[in-house]
Amino acid sequence: MTAEQLQSLIAAGLPCEHLDVSGDGRHWSAVIVSPAFEGKRLIARHQLVYATLGQRIQTDEVHALSMKTLTPAEWAQQAAD
């Protein structure tokens, strides 16, 4: 799996205003900004992202994914800080 493939999977299943994925093929890091995260706790946000990956998590195709999940407002605030 490449970063581009992983990014495409997430983008296909979740509306993203910003999405950046990097990693080494097994361990990934992602910054995901989505309006779908509005009003959701961190665990619920992560579950939404995992849902876009489906069986790839269970089959170890995506071994580890570290996520920073933000709403558009949180992203804008972070950029302003």
Query: Would you say 32 and 14 are in contact if contact means Cβ atoms under 8 Å apart?
Result: yes
Given a cut of 80, whether residue 81 has pLDDT beyond it is no
Tens of pLDDT, residue by residue over 22-65, are 998 888 999 999 999 999 999 999 999 999 998 888 787 888 89
pLDDT at 72: 97
For the chain, the domain total comes to: 1
Sign of the dihedral defined by the CA atoms of residues 77, 9, 21, 29, in that order? positive
CATH number of the CATH domain containing 21: 3.30.300.90
Residue 51: per-residue pLDDT? 94
| Token pair recorded at residue 59 | 């089959």
Confidence (pLDDT) at 1: 86
Domain, as residue range, for 44? 3-80
What's the predicted TM-score (pTM) here?
0.92
